[in-house]
Amino acid sequence: MLSKNVIFRALPIVFACGMLFASNSGIAKSDDLVPSLCLDDESNLVSAWMGNTVSTESGTKNKRDGKIVSVCTDSDKAPFQKVVYRYGLPERVELEMRASESTPLYFFNRSTSAHTGEDFIFFKNGIYTYYVVIAGGQANGVTLRIYNEKKLIFNRFSGIHDGEDFVVGPAEVDLKTRKSKHYQIKKPAHNF
């Protein structure tokens, strides 16, 4: 079981779903530093600012001038019967991708050093592949990458400040005992 600190910090997701444009009704409004795009009856897997970043004395910080990426689930614990990727702002969600049996979400986890790792959430939408990557262990932050076939066309980083640039949890993914047809364990097709 992945802990909240190790769970999916980069959210480029590879869903083979069609695009859905959300109506925004029911999107949880928040005064938090990292608003969630999850609905009131959903649990947050990860939410992160995808704006420009600046270097500070305490590390890379997000300017909060961009959009938000959120991955939401139907419960705090796996197996999930509902997993949804959303991108935009609380007032206007621009893209929503919902996992299903025919278009599952993919998860992957890897160690990048003795003290760091990455959790991947990804999906495919036509010729585009979306990845949300969450840095874990002694590393922090969420990366959103989008590929047009093999070409990287979008690459944003949240910043390293947990609670200010990104929020992980309370939902947690169990990669060992997957019991849902809505997500699968799969190695990413692109190199990171």
Interval 86-113: pLDDT, tens = 999 999 999 999 988 888 889 899 999 9
Q: Measured on CA atoms in the order 114, 175, 130, 187, is the torsion positive or negative?
A: positive
Annotated domain spans of the chain: 43-184
What is the pLDDT at residue 121? 93
pLDDT in tens, 2-22: 444 333 333 333 322 333 333
Give the pLDDT of residue 5.
37
Where is pLDDT greater, at 184 or 41?
41
Q: Return the closest-CA partner of residue 41 out of 171, 177, 131.
A: 171
| pLDDT classification of 24: cutoffs 50, 70, 90 | very low
* Among 25-34, 148-157, 173-182, the least confident range: 25-34
- The answer, yes or no, to whether residue 181 has pLDDT greater than 60, is yes
CB-count burial class (<10 Å; 0-12, 13-18, 19+) for 8: buried
Percent of the chain's residues with pLDDT above 90: 56
Establish whether the linkage from the previous residue to 12 is cis, with ω within 30° of 0: no
Residue 87: name the closest of 47, 54, 124, 122 by CA: 47
Q: What is the mean pLDDT of the chain?
A: 82
pLDDT band at 177, cuts 50/70/90? low
What is the rounded CA–CA span in Å between residue 129 and residue 152? 9
